[in-house]
Amino acid sequence: MKNPLSINPEQEADKIISFLKKTFKEQKIDKVVLGLSGGIDSMVALHLLKKVLPAKNIFVVQMDYVPRKKLDIDLKEINVVIISIKNIVDQFDNLIGSIPNFFSGKQQTAKKLVSSPSLNKILLGNIMARTRMIILFDIAKQLNALVCGTENKSEKLLGYFTRFGDAASDIEPISHLYKTQVRQLASYLKVPEKIINQSPTAGLWDGQTDEKEFGFTYEEADQVLYYFHNRNLEIKEIERLGFKNAEKIIKKMKNNQFKLRTPYVLR
């Protein structure tokens, strides 16, 4: 069966570049700040930005919790800073983990609010994501720059993002593309193959990968989401097309829809 998510990467790149140029012009801003993880999404965003702004106007920030080797990519003439977020994140984690039990009226008694190791990991990941975005927006404010996000459509629909963390940005160049479409665009932009082929990860802890957490691949999820979200097919119809995890994928999407609806406001 032909993959319905094939794109013309040249046309897609031209469309995004035009969008970026228009946005920077309208905002009267000619600088950008980008958090660079070394993954495919941030690398594609960087390659696109390099076609829009001079290298000296691009400010890349690598924010690690666990120290990594320097990213083996060409960042010639681009402003790069490496910031360790470990001390900041650990302070938040220690504070949140020992908040007094206010609701009992015994404020002097500290109580560990989170006991589940798996939940601890998720909360720690949220703190990391929000800490990174605080840093990016603070740098952008000082430089009079826009913060470039790196969210893709798969992550958005699946709710695989932290509200007010990695989902926060001033401009999103690839949020309309599914993950597998980002890969197609990456090949056209000549992103290094080792980055395109590596397992997608949010870098929240050692060995963490997106697909391991999901229990399904982006290759399957993107097509299921396309048929459900874009073509309005029922789950049973999608399963008959050969996607055994269709129900699981759609359930994850529905369970996280609240992330796209908040904050709740009067209309």
Bridge partners of 148?
34, 171
pLDDT for 118: 52
| Ordered per-residue pLDDT tens for the chain, 267 residues | 667 899 999 999 999 999 999 999 999 999 999 999 889 999 999 999 999 999 999 999 999 888 776 666 778 889 999 999 999 988 887 776 655 544 555 554 444 454 455 557 788 888 999 999 999 999 999 999 999 999 999 999 999 999 999 999 999 999 999 999 999 999 999 999 999 988 766 555 566 677 777 888 999 999 999 999 999 999 999 999 999 999 999 999 999 999 998 889 988
pLDDT for 210: 72
* Cβ contact 222:180 at 8 Å: yes
pLDDT for 110: 46
Q: Which of 225, 110, 90 has the alpha carbon at shortest distance from 156?
A: 225
How far apart, in whole angstroms, are the C-alpha atoms of residue 169 and residue 133? 8
* Cβ contact 47:191 at 8 Å: yes
The encoded tokens of residue 255 equal 């369970």
What is the layout of strands, in order, in the sheet containing 32-35?
79-84, 58-64, 32-35, 146-148
Neighbours of 39 (CB within 10 A): 18
* Cβ contact 250:221 at 8 Å: no
How far apart, in whole angstroms, are the C-alpha atoms of residue 73 and residue 63? 16
How far apart, in whole angstroms, are the C-alpha atoms of residue 184 and residue 12? 10
Bridge partners of 110?
100
The answer to whether the peptide bond before residue 173 is cis (omega within 30 degrees of 0) is no
Class of domain 9-213: alpha beta
pLDDT for 90: 87
pLDDT for 109: 46
pLDDT for 94: 74
pLDDT for 70: 66
HEC readout, the chain: CCCCCCCCHHHHHHHHHHHHHHHHHHHCCCCEEEECCCCHHHHHHHHHHHCCCCHHHEEEEEEECCCCCCCCCCCCCCEEEEEECHHHHHHHHHHHHCCECHHHCCCCCECCCCCCHHHHHHHHHHHHHHHHHHHHHHHHHHHCCEEECCCCHHHHHHCCCCCCCCCCCCECCCCCCCHHHHHHHHHHCCCCHHHHHCCCCCCCCCCCCHHHHHCCCHHHHHHHHHHHHHCCCCHHHHHHCCCCCHHHHHHHHHHCCHHHHCCCCCC
